[in-house]
A and B are shown apart, each in its own frame.
Chain A
Amino acid sequence: MDTIRSSARGCTACLLLLLLPTGIQHAKERDRDWLEKLNKMESQADEARGAYWCGRYDDAQRQFAALAASMHPSTILYLNESAMCSLAREDYPDAERQLREVDRLLNTYYSEEREKRALSVFGAEAEKVYRGDPYEQASAYMLLALILMDRGDYDNALAACKSGILADSDASENLFDSDIALLHAVEAKCCLLRGDKEAFSSRQDAAAKAVRLTSMQVRDGFSKRQDLLELLKMSRSDRRRLGEKRSDDEIRAEIQSLSGTLDQQIKSIDAATLLGPLYSGDYNVLILVPRGRCARKTRTGTDAEMVVFREYTASCEFPGLYLDGQSLNPDGVLASTVDVDFQATTRGGRRMDAILRGKAASRTTTRGLGESLTQAGSNVGGVPGLGVALVGALVQGAAGAMTPEADTRCWQSLPKYYQIYTLRLPYGRHEVQGAHYVYFQKKTEFRHEFSLVDGKDMAVIIVPPPLYGAYFCAGESKLSERDREGFGLASTILLPPPTGLDDVIRIRVSAEGVKPEALAPDAKRVMRSVQESLRANKYVSSLVWHEETIKSRAFLAANHRYALQCDLGAIIREGTRKSGVYRTRLTFSLIDAKTGKTLLGKSVEGTCTDIASGPSTAFYKCVRQATEAFLGSPDFKSTCNTGSV
C-alpha cells in the first residue's frame, strides 16, 4: 500500500513539474502574440509620429487612421494621435469626430478580461487596453471642448470640460481637484455664454485655484510634500531600503511645516491677474500655440518594470504670428495654463505603478527561492541533489517568465505646453496667419480665417505644431575659434546644425544578400565638413549651434546676410563589398537670414565607392563631395555674386 502511495505521490510531483512549465509556456505564447502585434503597431506609429513632427500631416494621418481602423488595445491612442493630425490640417470637424469616438470608447470599450490579465502575475501590462493617463484623457477632452466651443455648441463643450476635469481629478492624495486651469476657464466661459452667472463665478474660482496650485513658485514644495506623503504610506522595510531613518511623527511634522509655507505662498499668488481675460471671461477669441514636444515614457529598473518620463529638452522657434496683419507679441502670454509636461510628470502613485512594484517584488522573491534551491541541490550532490537543483532552476525560470515590463504607450503628438492668447475682437471677418521656421528657413505657412457674428460668438484657433522632428541637436556644444571664424561680419555665411538627422540612421541596402547597416551621424562633424568646403572655395562661414540660433535668430539675422542649411535626405548602399557604392542625398538651402526666404535650394548627391572603410567614413566623404558639388554649381555662384557674399 505504502509503495502505491509513494508512487502516486511521485507521479503527482512529476505531473506538476511537467504541467508548470507547460502552463508558463502557454501563457508566454499568448502574451508574445499580443505583444508582437502591439509592438509592430507601435513601430508603425513611431513612423507616423516622425511624419507628424516633420509637418507631413497627411502622411501621418493616413498611417494613424489605418492603425485606428480596427478595434484593439491601442485604438484610443491612435485615434487621439489622428485627431492631432486633423487639428494640424485645420480639419476641425474630423478632429471632433475622432475625439468623440475616443470619448465613446473610454466610456464603453473596456475589456475587464484584459484588465484582469494585466493584474494577474503572468501577463504583460502592455496588453491592457490603452485608456491613457489622466493628463492624456484630460487633454483629449480639452481639445474636444475647444472644438465644440469654436462651433458654438456650448452645452457639449461644457460637458467635455466636465469630463476632462473628472479624468484629471484622481491625482494622489486628491491634492489637486483638477489642476488644468484652461479646462476650468473654458468651463467658466461656457457657463457665461449660457447665461449661468452663478456657475461662472464658481468655475472662475476653480481656474484661479488651479493656477495657484501649479504656479512655478509652489511646484517644488508640492512635489516635496507628495514625496513625504508617499513615504508615510511605505512599509518600514521599504523605507529602510531607501535609507530613510525619520519616524512617522517627524515626517508628519515636516509635512505640517511645509504645508504652512505652501499655504502662505499660494495666498500671495494673484491668479486673477495671471489669468487675465481667461478669469474675467472677457474674450471672444482664443489662440492656442503649441510649443515643444511632450515627454515620452521609457522603462527603467532592474526588470524594466518602472516608467519614467524622458523630456525633449531642445527648444524650438516661436512661430511668427499675425492677426489681421498685425504681429502678435509672444510676451505677456500665460504659458503655464496648459503645461502638458508638468501634467504628465506629476502623477505620483498611479494605480498601475503600484501593481508593477508588487510584480517586481514577487519576481525577486521567486528568483531568490529558486537560487537557494539550486545552490542546495548542488551542495547535496548525487541524484537527489540534481533533482532539487532542477526544481530550483524551474522556479527561477518561472520568475523569468513573469513579465513586469511597464507599458510605455503614450500620446506622443502632444506639445510640451500651450501658449494661449485671449483676445476680444470686433464683429466681422478676421485672419490669423503665421509661419514655422527651422533655424533661419521659413518652412511652412498657415492661415486661418474666422468671423465673429454676435456677442455670443467665439472663435478658437489651434496653431499647427512646430516642426520639432527636423531638429537633431539638443542643448549647446562647444565651438572653437576656428568654428566661429568671421562671426559678426555681414558677409559671413551662418551654418546652423544639419536637419533630418537622427541618433541612428538605417541605411537602405538595395543589393540582395547584403546585411543591413546603420549610421550614427555627428552633427558637428557634418557642419565642420561643410565649413571646410566653404573655406576651400574662399567663403567665410561661422558655425552656430541649436540653442543660440533658436534664442537669437533675430539678432543673428540682423548681423549676417545669409545662412546655409543642409538637410539629409537618404543614404543608400548599392552593390557588393567589392563593387558597391554609398549614395547620400543632401538638400542645401541658401537662406536670406532676415526674411527666411530660400534664395537657392538644391538637392545634391554625394557618392563613395570605398565600401571597406564602413558607412561612417563613406558618409562624411559623401557629405564633402555633395557640398563641393553644391558650392561649385553656377547657381550658387551667381546667387552669391548677386548678393555679394
Chain B
Amino acid sequence: MTRVIILLLSCAIIGSLASGCYSPKPIPKAYFESKSQMSVAVGKCPEKAQMSDSGQGGLLGAMVTAGRAGAMHEAMSGITGDTVKELVRQRFSEKMEEYFDIYDEGTLKTVIDILQWGWYVPTTVAGIKTGSYQFVINGTVTVTDTVQKKKPRIANLRAQVSETIGNKPTAAVSQEALLKCADKLAVQAVTLLVKEQTAEPKSK
C-alpha cells in the first residue's frame, strides 16, 4: 500500500512539474545576427473542425454539444485541415519574413503543429449555452537548427487564439474568424519567437 502511495505521489509531483514549468523559448539572438534562412511547414493538423465546450455539463452536456456540432460543420463546409494548414503556414511566413529569409529549405526549420481548430461554446449544467460561439486554433511551434546534431531544438512555444463569432454564425462569419485566428496565431507566435532579437527588423 505504501509503495502504491509513494508511486502515485511521485507521478503527481513529476506531472505537476512537467506541466507547470512551461514557458515559451524564443529563438536565440545569435540566429538573428547570422541572418539564417528558415523553412516553414505545418506538421500535425486535425482533418476536421472540432467542437469543444466548457466541460461542466457532464455526459448530457457533451451530447448537447455534439448535437450543435452538426450545424456548425455545415457553416464551415469545405474548409478542412488542408485549408487551415496552408493558411497558418502563409500567415506565419509573412510575419516571419520580417526577420528571416523564408525558403522551402533552410538552416532553421519551423514546424507548426495544430492541435485543435474549430469551435468553443461556453456551457453550464446540462450543456446549456451561456455565451457566444468562438472560433479557436491552438497549437505548438518548434524551431530546430538542422545543422546542430545535439539539441537541435532551439525554440518552442504554445499558442492559443480565439475569435467570437456570435450566436448564429454563418459560413461567411466563420470563414472570417478562421482568417483572423490564423493572423492572430502568426502574430502571437512570431512575437514570442523573436523576443530576443534586439536589432531592428531587416528592411523589406
Contacts and interface: CB of A to CB of B under 8 A. Distances in A.
Interface of A: 32, 35-36, 39, 42-43, 46, 124, 298-304, 367, 370-371, 374, 389-390, 392-394, 396-397, 399-400, 403, 405, 476-478, 480, 503-504, 506-507, 515-520, 522, 614-616
B194 to A, nearest CB: 15
Looking at A302, A389, A396, A477, which has the most chain B CB atoms within 10 Å of its CB? A396
Contact of B125 (A389, A517, A616): A389
B166 A400 contact: no
Interface string B113-130: 000000000101110111
26 contacts: A42-B170, A43-B170, A43-B171, A300-B164, A303-B131, A303-B132, A303-B164, A371-B130, A392-B125, A393-B128, A396-B128, A397-B128, A400-B128, A405-B167, A477-B94, A478-B98, A504-B175, A515-B78, A517-B83, A518-B83, A519-B82, A520-B90, A522-B90, A615-B82, A616-B82, A616-B86
Looking at A371, A389, A519, which has the most chain B CB atoms within 10 Å of its CB? A519
A517 B131 CA distance: 30
Contacts of A46: 172
B129 A517 contact: no
A516 B170 CA distance: 17
B130 A517 contact: no
Nearest to A503: B179
Nearest to B37: A480
Given A43-B172, A393-B124, A480-B101, A400 B129 contact: yes
B97 interface: yes
A390 B168 CA distance: 25
Nearest to B89: A522
A36 B82 CA distance: 29
Contacts of A504: 79, 83, 87, 175, 178-179
Contact of B130 (A301, A399, A506, A516): A399
B78 A517 contact: yes
B170 A403 contact: no
Interface residues of B, number: 39
Given A396-B128, A478-B204, A299 B164 contact: yes
A399 to B, nearest CB: 6
Contacts of B98: 478
B10 interface: no
A309 B93 CA distance: 26
B131 A367 contact: yes
Contacts of B131: 302-303, 367, 399-400
B80 interface: yes
Contacts of A519: 82-83, 86
Contacts of A503: 87, 175, 179
B176 interface: yes
A124 B204 CA distance: 46
A522 B204 contact: no
A390 B179 contact: no
Contact of B124 (A299, A374, A476, A477): A374
A405 B125 contact: no
Contacts of A478: 97-98, 101, 204
A374 B125 contact: yes
A32 B71 CA distance: 13
B38 to A, nearest CB: 12
Contact of A367 (B125, B130, B166, B167): B130
Contacts of A507: 78
Closest 8 CB pairs of A and B: A518-B78, A393-B125, A516-B78, A614-B82, A304-B166, A397-B128, A396-B130, A520-B87
Contacts of B94: 477
B77 interface: yes
A205 B84 CA distance: 55
User: What DSSP secondary structure best describes chain B's contact surface?
Assistant: mixed
B165 interface: yes
A397 B82 contact: no
Contacts of A32: 168
Nearest to A615: B82
Nearest to B102: A478
A399 B128 CA distance: 10
A517 B164 contact: no
A405 B167 CA distance: 8
Contacts of A517: 78, 80, 82-83
Contacts of A400: 122, 128-131, 167
A548 to B, nearest CB: 11
B175 A516 contact: no
Nearest to B94: A477
A299 B166 contact: yes
A64 B169 CA distance: 23
A521 B122 CA distance: 33
B166 A476 contact: no
A405 B170 CA distance: 13
Nearest to B128: A397
A615 B82 CA distance: 7
A366 B126 CA distance: 18
Given A393-B124, A520-B84, A616-B85, 6 more contacts: A36-B168, A299-B164, A302-B132, A396-B130, A520-B87, A616-B83
Nearest to A616: B86
A520 B86 contact: yes
Given A516-B77, A520-B86, A522-B90, A396 B124 contact: yes
Nearest to B82: A614
Given A400-B167, A405-B167, A477-B94, A518 B124 contact: no
Given A374-B125, A520-B83, A522-B90, A39 B170 contact: yes
Contacts of B79: 504, 518
Contacts of B124: 370-371, 374, 392-393, 396-397
A35 B101 contact: no
B51 to A, nearest CB: 16
Nearest to B203: A478
Nearest to B126: A393
Contacts of B167: 400, 403, 405
B37 to A, nearest CB: 10
Contacts of A371: 124, 130
Looking at B122, B124, B164, which has the most chain A CB atoms within 10 Å of its CB? B124
A106 to B, nearest CB: 27
A43 B78 CA distance: 16
A298 B166 CA distance: 12
B82 A301 contact: no
Contacts of B176: 298
Interface string B174-204: 0110110000000000000000000000001
Interface in B136-183: 164-168, 170-173, 175-176, 178-179
B54 to A, nearest CB: 11
Contacts of A615: 82-83
B42 to A, nearest CB: 10
A556 B176 CA distance: 35
Contacts of B128: 393-394, 396-397, 400
Contact of B168 (A35, A397, A399): A35
